[in-house]
């Protein structure tokens, strides 16, 4: 048995459907991403790794709710710095997590972390969630494990984004070091594709479903790349693989050249 997960991230849906993000219609682009995921077939779960709303507005979550309700794949969402989980829980039926949660699928254990620090762009895992994560990692025993979270727990080499990574990342890595079976940490927030590692643990960042940020740029800069998402396949033999999928160019949501 294998489990196939589609990771989507940083949809940045506005309350006002006419507002654009650097010229991108974020609603049209996530609709296209969802259509592409559904066309792939055999996806067991969609994991949304935060910043699904740009402004935390009720209507933005109602839009996401109708979008996810229209597809027959379950969705688990962790919050990003732009999200308002309290508003999301009133507006949406999809599972918006507000604390550290684990889910076991087959031989695998998946962790979903809340790294939102109220009023800040950078991330933090609070002490209660750190304790829960530690317990969940230890209780997994020899199970292979994967972690999903919004803020990357390390620098990606882009100064303005590294200033808003997971603030207490040393606490995170101390807890992760209790297991030699953490196979990967999948993040959003940085709107770009990176495959990094820390202490032998792969840390992967996934492009946004809307606009992309330029890699290795010290300051905010857009990169003209198509919306994307990631497919993660975890096998019963404890191996796993992942790959990036980008949409074909479309005038409906494409980013204007800067």
CA gap 185, 40 in Å, rounded: 23
What x/- string results for residues 172 through 191 when contact with Fe ion is judged by CB under 5 A?
Answer: -----------------x--
Contact 114, 99 (CB under 8 A): yes
Q: Distance between the two ends of the chain, CA-based, in angstroms?
A: 46
- Residue-wise burial string across 189-219, b where 16 or more C-beta atoms lie within 10 A, e elsewhere: bbbbbbebeeeebbbbbbbbbbbbbbbebee
The residue (of 79 and 184) whose beta carbon lies closer to Fe ion is 79
CB of residue 6 to Fe ion, shortest distance in Å: 19
Q: Tell how strand 101-105 and strand 212-213 pair up.
A: unpaired
Q: Which of residues 23-82 bind Fe ion (CB under 5 A)?
A: 51, 80-81
DSSP E strand stretches across the chain: 2-8, 45-48, 75-77, 95-96, 101-105, 108-112, 145-149, 182-187, 194-198, 201-205, 212-213, 222-223, 228-235, 240-246
The residue (of 144 and 152) whose beta carbon lies closer to Fe ion is 152
CB of residue 8 to Fe ion, shortest distance in Å: 14
The residue (of 55 and 233) whose beta carbon lies closer to Fe ion is 55
CB of residue 123 to Fe ion, shortest distance in Å: 8
The residue (of 51 and 124) whose beta carbon lies closer to Fe ion is 51
- The residue with its CB nearest to Fe ion is 189
CB of residue 51 to Fe ion, shortest distance in Å: 4
DSSP letter for 249, please.
P
CB of residue 165 to Fe ion, shortest distance in Å: 10
- Residue 196 CA, chain-centre distance (Å), reads 16
What x/- string results for residues 97 through 136 when contact with Fe ion is judged by CB under 5 A?
Answer: ----------------------------------------
The residue (of 81 and 145) whose beta carbon lies closer to Fe ion is 81
DSSP-assigned beta bridge partners for residue 53:
13
- 83 contributes a contact to Fe ion by CB under 5 A: no
CB of residue 50 to Fe ion, shortest distance in Å: 6
Q: Which of residues 186-225 bind Fe ion (CB under 5 A)?
A: 189
The residue (of 43 and 210) whose beta carbon lies closer to Fe ion is 210
The residue (of 111 and 189) whose beta carbon lies closer to Fe ion is 189
Angle at 36 between CA 115 and CA 82, to 5 degrees: 25
CB of residue 1 to Fe ion, shortest distance in Å: 33
SS3 67: helix
In the complex, the residues that contact Fe ion under the rule CB under 5 A are 51, 80-81, 189
């Amino acid at each position: 048995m294998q489990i196939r997960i589609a990771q989507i991230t940083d949809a940045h849906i506005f309350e006002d459907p006419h507002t654009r993000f650097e010229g991108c219609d974020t609603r049209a682009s996530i609709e296209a991403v969802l259509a592409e995921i559904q066309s792939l077939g055999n996806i067991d779960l969609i994991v949304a790794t935060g910043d699904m709303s740009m402004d935390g507005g009720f209507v933005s979550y109602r839009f996401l709710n109708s979008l996810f309700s229209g597809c027959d794949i379950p969705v688990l969402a962790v919050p990003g710095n732009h999200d308002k989980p309290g508003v999301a829980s009133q507006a949406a039926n999809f599972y918006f997590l507000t604390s550290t949660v684990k889910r076991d699928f087959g031989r695998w254990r998946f962790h979903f972390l809340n790294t939102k620090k109220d009023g800040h762009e950078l991330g933090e895992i609070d002490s209660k969630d750190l304790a829960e994560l530690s317990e969940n990692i230890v209780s997994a025993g020899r199970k292979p494990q994967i972690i999903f979270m919004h803020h990357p727990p390390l620098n990606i080499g882009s100064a303005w984004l590294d200033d808003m990574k997971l603030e207490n990342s040393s606490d995170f890595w101390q807890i992760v070091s209790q297991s030699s079976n953490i196979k990967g940490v999948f993040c959003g927030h940085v709107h770009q594709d990176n495959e990094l590692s820390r202490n032998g643990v792969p840390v992967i960042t996934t492009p946004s479903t809307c606009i992309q940020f330029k890699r290795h740029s010290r300051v905010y800069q857009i990169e003209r790349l198509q919306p994307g998402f990631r497919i993660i396949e975890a096998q019963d033999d404890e191996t796993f693989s992942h790959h990036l999928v980008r949409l074909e160019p479309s005038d409906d949501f494409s980013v204007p050249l800067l």
